[in-house]
Amino acid sequence: MRVRTAVIPCAGKGTRFQPITRTVPKELLPIVAKPALQLVVEECAGAGIDHVVLVSSHAKPAIAAFALDVTEHMPGMRMSVAYQDEPLGLGHAVGCARAAVGDEPFAVLLPDELMGDSSLLAQMIDVCERTGGSVVGLKQVPREEVPAYGVIDPSGEMNADGVVAVRTMVEKPSLAEAPSDLIIIGRYVLTNDVFDLIDQVQPGAKGEIQLTDALRVQAASGPFHGVLSRIQRHDTGNPLGWLTAVVDIALDDPTLSAPFESWLRERLAP
Ligand code: UTP
């Protein structure tokens, strides 16, 4: 079955970006002249997605206004908004999109991770359509960084295209217990049975319903793969990552790069 819908969770509180997130959602912070969320919707379009479901909260009306703006300015992209008024975790946020998604497999993109292009998502969609199982995006990190992330336990060798079968995954393992150096990044392509599994997930210590708990059940019972990302990626979920993304993208912008670089050189000169 073709993957045509993407869910983008946008209902979090954005505490690491206060005070701006008291009035402007983190997902709409500007990357030069575009909201970060727009870059993520463009990534979806480039991978053949034509329906995006934004999971928002009524405390963030600017997200629904953004959806309307995309409808007006991006022909061929259908936008839906689903609501999660309490940020009860990523699994819960995805579960809130169920009615809007319907019965098909779908992608999930975390909007505080920006990818250089649509190639990873397109490859993940292809693997999902060929294998009939869910797929997660992966990044290889230095071993000592692994305990901060969700980590996969591969069940075989990675092929030349960066695709690897996944046995299971562990959230924030100790260094000694980490099954690999492959962490799960904010890109997923999921089969529709994940919704029933999310309904069965027990809330964790902070009352949060984690997506990984549902994915672990999927991995134990059918095909489940990871795809290694080889593209530029920015984590804009914290101020330093956001700033790095803005500078990097400005340096690639044909109208900004020359004057910006010359200012930057002068600013950094000893
Ligand atoms: P984050 O954990 O990075 O976002 O979730 P946050 O909670 O808003 O940030 P901090 O930790 O308070 O600074 C990644 C994405 O998932 C969404 C967030 O809006 C963000 O885009 N999210 C997270 C939800 O939609 N619902 C949730 O319950 C949790």
The response to whether residue 113 sits with its C-beta less than 6 Å from ligand 1 reads no
Q: Is 159 helix (H, G, I), strand (E, B) or coil?
A: coil
Q: How far is the CA of 6 from the centre of ligand 1 (A)?
A: 17
Looking at residue 253, its pLDDT comes to: 95
Cα separation, 234 vs 257, in Å, equals 19
To test ligand 1's pocket by mutation, which of 26, 114, 198, 211 has the most ligand atoms within 8 angstroms of CB? 26
Q: How far is the CA of 9 from the centre of ligand 1 (A)?
A: 7
Q: How far is the CA of 110 from the centre of ligand 1 (A)?
A: 8
Query: Beta 78-83 vs 51-56: how paired, if at all?
Result: parallel
Looking at residue 270, its pLDDT comes to: 82
End-to-end CA distance of the chain: 58
Range 247-255 average pLDDT: 95
The response to whether residue 10 sits with its C-beta less than 6 Å from ligand 1 reads yes
Tell me what percent of the residues of the chain surpass a pLDDT of 90.
97
- How far from the centroid of its chain's Cα atoms is residue 68's Cα? 21
The response to whether residue 110 sits with its C-beta less than 6 Å from ligand 1 reads yes
Query: Beta 5-9 vs 106-109: how paired, if at all?
Result: parallel
The response to whether residue 237 sits with its C-beta less than 6 Å from ligand 1 reads yes
Indicate which atom in ligand 1 lies nearest the CA of residue 208.
Answer: 28
Looking at residue 1, its pLDDT comes to: 82
Pair of tokens at residue 129:
């359509």
The 10s digit of each residue's pLDDT in 64-93 is 999 999 999 999 999 999 999 899 999 999
Q: Which residues contact 121 (CB under 8 A, 6 or more apart)?
A: 43, 44, 46, 47, 49, 107, 109, 115, 137, 187, 189
Looking at residue 122, its pLDDT comes to: 98
Cα separation, 208 vs 217, in Å, equals 17
Looking at residue 121, its pLDDT comes to: 98
Give nearest CA residue, ligand 1 atom 3: 237
The response to whether residue 27 sits with its C-beta less than 6 Å from ligand 1 reads yes
37 pLDDT band (50/70/90 cuts)?
Answer: very high
CB 82 within 8 A of CB 206: no
- Please say if the pLDDT value at position 28 is more than 90: yes
- Please say if the pLDDT value at position 205 is more than 80: no
CATH annotation of 5-250: 3.90.550.10
Looking at residue 32, its pLDDT comes to: 95
pTM of the full structure: 0.96
Measured from the Cβ of residue 21, the count of other Cβ atoms closer than 10 Å reads 18
DSSP 250-266: HHT-TTTHHHHHHHHHH
Query: Beta 5-9 vs 51-56: how paired, if at all?
Result: parallel
Residue extents of the structural domains in the chain: 5-250
Looking at residue 224, its pLDDT comes to: 98
Indicate which atom in ligand 1 lies nearest the CA of residue 11.
Answer: 25
Tell me what percent of the residues of the chain surpass a pLDDT of 70.
100
Looking at residue 206, its pLDDT comes to: 83
Looking at residue 56, its pLDDT comes to: 98
Looking at residue 126, its pLDDT comes to: 98
Range 150-179 average pLDDT: 96
Pair of tokens at residue 126:
């292809």
- How far from the centroid of its chain's Cα atoms is residue 124's Cα? 13
264 pLDDT band (50/70/90 cuts)?
Answer: very high
CB 191 within 8 A of CB 103: no
Burial (CB count within 10 angstroms: exposed 0-12, middle 13-18, buried 19+), residue 159:
exposed
**How many residues does the structure list for the chain?**
270
